[in-house]
Amino acid sequence: MVPGRNVLAVAVSAAPATTTPAPPVPATRTAVLAIGALALGGFAIGTTEFVTMGLLPDIAEGIDASIPSAGHLISAYALGVVVGAPVIAALSARLPRRPLAMALMTAFVVGNALSALAPGYGTLVLARFVAGLPHGAYFGVASLIAASLVPDRLRGRAVSSVMLGLAVANVAGVPAATWLGQHLGWRSAYWAVVAIGAVTVLAVLTVVPATPGRSEATIRSELGALKRPQVVLTLLVATVGFGGMFAMYSYIAPIVTEEAGQPAGFVPVVLLAFGVGGVLGTALGGRLADRALFRSLVGATLAVGLLLAVMLVAAGDVVPLTATVFLIAAAASTMVVLLQLRLMEVAGDAQMLGAALNHSALNAANALGAWLGGLVIAAGLGYRAPSAVGVGLAVLGLGFLLASALLRRRELAAG
């Protein structure tokens, strides 16, 4: 059930205004260049996060491991994101934001260089974990910098522009790096990411204005945001509600080949549709956030659930399948941006932690959705069944949003 109009109206603002004075808004050209530099870092991160999947057989052969064992490299990176985001964000909230963004991207470069140099399985797993550590914190600080460069009415679009680098990576960066890895060896893909990361560090140094941190921040005050019910509820939406998309998308290849009856060579076409939908949704999410953040989040979550239900029927024919995948990607990517801004809103002064935690939750959603989707497939229910699981998870996500709205109404009534 979707919350009523009166409940939604009181849920839009769930956190007190930050006490840190905002820096002056710079000229538009400066803001555009700075946000572009930060988005380039998102492009590098998106490329390394997903290129491992495309090169998994090549990597497995190169380190003398089975493909299932090589799959642990993906899990190691995700674990790095989950662990690194809250820890680094809490420890670094006091630091000036431009040097912090540069330091995080430098750590990311080191992690990918170690991946390219890793001599064997164990060292490569460790290197992927290290590469994942700065992921969430980078998007956290980059989101705050971007938001500080524009008027309040454009904050959503500024943050979504940073996230756009991640979306574009799925369309351009991942295919290009995969092709490079297949022709020049899998290590070359990680070296390409190293190069993009190094350029990002230089770009941030050159065009991003100095932005202060929160001098009054402490580890306790930052992590105290996790005690806020609104933060917890939003994280549950990100983990459970967004997990529904991953329940389906984790098994998109067999859906295309087994349900739609297409050859394996058509899978990249569907993946391209997903990537283009992601770019559209990311851009749309910022605009919707600037208009009505909470209502838009409810709408995006509802759209994901409805489209996953459509997928149960559309999976049998290639044209509606491709169109539905495109729309699911658009709705889900819109949801990612809205979740990012919602967490920044409800985290109070701990905005960087809130923005970083979004990426921890999304990686947890990836693991949850893939696991539950695998369970129903293993039970013999077929490759459409994960979409049904996704519908259920989206409904749960809507339930957490309803709880968030009701809690906010209670808070306003009490005080």
Query: pLDDT tens digits for the chain (415 residues)?
Result: 333 434 334 343 333 334 444 444 455 888 899 999 999 999 999 999 888 877 878 888 899 888 777 878 888 898 899 899 888 988 888 889 999 999 999 999 999 999 999 999 999 999 999 999 999 999 989 998 998 898 888 888 999 899 999 889 988 888 888 889 888 999 999 999 999 999 999 999 999 998 887 777 677 777 777 788 999 999 999 999 998 888 888 788 788 888 888 887 888 888 889 989 999 999 999 999 999 999 999 999 999 999 999 999 999 999 999 999 999 999 999 999 999 999 988 888 787 888 888 888 988 888 888 888 888 888 889 889 999 999 999 999 999 999 999 998 887 777 6
**Do 199 and 249 share a structural domain?**
no
How many C-beta neighbours within 10 Å does residue 254 have?
Answer: 15
d(CA 407, CA 356): 24
Domain-embedded: residue 248: yes
Question: Which tokens in the block code for residue 318?
Answer: 């290639």
Q: What domain range is 307 assigned to?
A: 218-415
| Domain count along the chain | 2
Do residue 179 and residue 231 come from a single domain? no
Q: Do 248 and 154 sit in the same domain of this protein?
A: no
CA distance 46 to 41: 9
Considering the domain architecture, whether residues 309 and 192 belong to the same structural domain is answered as no
If asked whether residues 67 and 166 sit together in one domain, one would say yes
Choose the final residue of a domain: 166, 181, 216.
216
CATH number of the domain within which 140 lies:
1.20.1250.20
Q: What is the pLDDT of residue 6?
A: 41
Is the domain of 311 the same as that of 209?
no
Q: Are residues 270 and 401 in the same domain?
A: yes
Which residue do the tokens 């260089």 mark? 113
Residue 13 inside a domain? The answer is no
* Domain match, 210 and 230 both: no
In a domain, 402, yes or no: yes
Q: What is the CA radius of gyration of the chain?
A: 20
Is residue 14 included in any domain, yes or no? no
Is 7 within the bounds of a domain?
no
Q: Does a structural domain hold residue 17? A: no
In this structure, are 281 and 180 located in the same domain? Answer: no
- Picking from 160, 185, 216, the residue at the C-terminal end of a domain is 216
Q: Is residue 8 part of a domain?
A: no
3-state class (DSSP) for residue 55: coil
Decide: 145 and 111 in contact? Cβ < 8 Å.
no
Q: Are residues 78 and 144 in the same domain?
A: yes
Asked whether residue 5 is domain-assigned, the answer is: no
Same domain, 223 and 212: no
- Domain boundary pick from 181, 216, 251: 216
115 and 65 inside one domain: yes
pTM of the model: 0.82
